[in-house]
Amino acid sequence: MLPYGKQSISDDDVEAVVEVLRGDWLTTGPAVGRFEAELARWTGGVPCLAVTSGTAALHVAYVAAGVGPGDEVVTSPLTFVATAATAALRGARVVFADVRPDTGTLCPDAASAAVSGRTRAVTAVDYAGHPADYDELREVATRAGAVLVADAAHSIGSTYKGLPVGRLADLTTFSFFPTKTVTTAEGGAVAVADPERFRRAARFRNHGLVRDPAEQRDPGHGGWHQEVHEFGLNYRLPDVLCALGASQLRRLAAFRARRAGLVARYDALLAGVPGLTLPARRPYVEPSWHLYPVRVRDGRRGEVYDRMRAAGIGVQVNYIPAYWHPVFEDLGYRRGLCPEAEAYYAEQLSLPLFPDLSSAEQDRVVECLTSVLGS
C-alpha cells in the first residue's frame, strides 16, 4: 500500500538519536534546548516549548491563554478533533465557525459572527499547510478581546505575507507526528511570544512545578524544594526525540521544496480532469504542503476512495467535521452547523504526498485517479 504520508529518516537523523542514547541524558537535557532553539529559527525568533504531541501543544496553549470553565473558543470544524477537544477539556464551550470553501481554513466572517462576550480564544487551523487569513482573524480576535491561537500542525515553515507561521498568532502549536513535514515520532511544540504566557505554558508542561525560591510560598527548605501552585501535567519531550527533531529541522527547507515540487507536478498532471477540484493557494502565501487535498465532485468521493485503496494507493479523508463526533453530538451539537465545512468534507480526498514519493509512484496515483474518474 502506497501511504498518503510517511516520514523521511536519514542516516544523520539516526546518528543524532544514537548520540543521545550514548550520552548522559535521555530526557530534560541539552537536546531539548537545542531543538527549541532550532525551531525558533523557523518562527521568526518567537520562543518555543517542546511537548509530547500536537494535542499536548494545544492543551498547553489553551492553558497559557487562560481558557477555562465558562469561556468560549471559536474554531474550525475542518480539523482533527484535538483542536476542539483540548478546549473542551479545559471546561470551555467550543463554538464552531465555517470555513472558506476553497482553502478549507477558518472564515473570518463566520468567526466574527461566532464570537461573543465570553470568547477567550479564536483558533485558526492551517488546513493542509495553507495558512489561515491571519490579518482578518487578528481583527476578529482583537474586537472580541480574545487570544488568537494558530493550530499550525500542518504548516511548519509556511509564510503569510512574508511572515513565518509562529509569528502570526499569540500562540502557535505544531505537531511532529510521522506524517507531518518534520517528525519527532510523537511530539509537538508551542510558540509563545508573551513572557507571562510562556512562563505559564512552561510550568504546565512540567507538572506546574515552581522551583525558583523567589516565587515559592514556603521557601527555605533546601535545594530540593519545589512547589505546585497550579496543577500541570508531564508533557516534556525527551532528549532522544528532540535530537531527532533538531536533525529533521535542518532538512526542513529541503522537505518544503520537495513537497512544493510534488504539488506543482500534481497540479500539472491533474489540470482539467473532469469531476476534480484542485487545492487553492493565495498569492501572498507560501504553504508547507502537508496534504494534497483534492475535491471529488458529483458524489463520487466514496467510490474513488474505495477503488484507489483497492488498487494499493492509500488515499485518505481529512477530516470528518469535528462536531460530527458522537462526543460533540452528546453535547448537543447537530449536523448542518457549518455547511461549507460539511460540503468540503463530502468531497475531500488526500492524495499521497511525502518527500520520498517518486515520480513513478506519483504517476501511478494520477493514472489510477483519472482512470477511476473516467470509468
Per-residue pLDDT tens over the stretch 161-200: 999 999 999 999 999 999 999 999 999 999 999 999 999 9
| Rounded distance between C-alpha atoms, residue 184 and residue 178, angstroms | 7
334 burial type by CB count under 10 A (0-12 exposed, 13-18 middle, 19+ buried): exposed
Q: What is the pTM of this model?
A: 0.97
| CA torsion, ordered 257, 263, 264, 265, to nearest 10 deg | 110
pLDDT in tens, 199-229: 999 999 999 999 999 999 999 899 999 999 9
How much is the pLDDT for 226? 95
How much is the pLDDT for 104? 98
Q: Prior bond to 319 cis, omega within 30?
A: yes
Q: What does the buried/exposed string (b/e) look like for 220-241 if buried means 16 or more CB atoms within 10 Å of the residue's CB?
A: eeeeeeebeeeebbebbbbbbb
How much is the pLDDT for 256? 98
Q: Any catalytic annotation for residue 161?
A: no
Helices (H) and strands (E) in the chain, counts: 13, 15
Query: Of 120, 180, 259, 290, which one is the catalytic site residue?
Result: 180
Grid cell in block for residue 68: 477555562
pLDDT in tens, 92-119: 999 999 999 999 999 999 999 999 999 9
| Rounded distance between C-alpha atoms, residue 111 and residue 122, angstroms | 8
Neighbours of 295 (CB within 10 A): 20
Residue 129's region, left for phi above 0, alpha for psi from -120 to 50, else beta, is left
Determine the residue type at 284: Y
How much is the pLDDT for 255? 98
Whether residue 375 has pLDDT greater than 90: no
How much is the pLDDT for 200? 97
pLDDT in tens, 247-270: 999 999 999 999 999 999 999 999
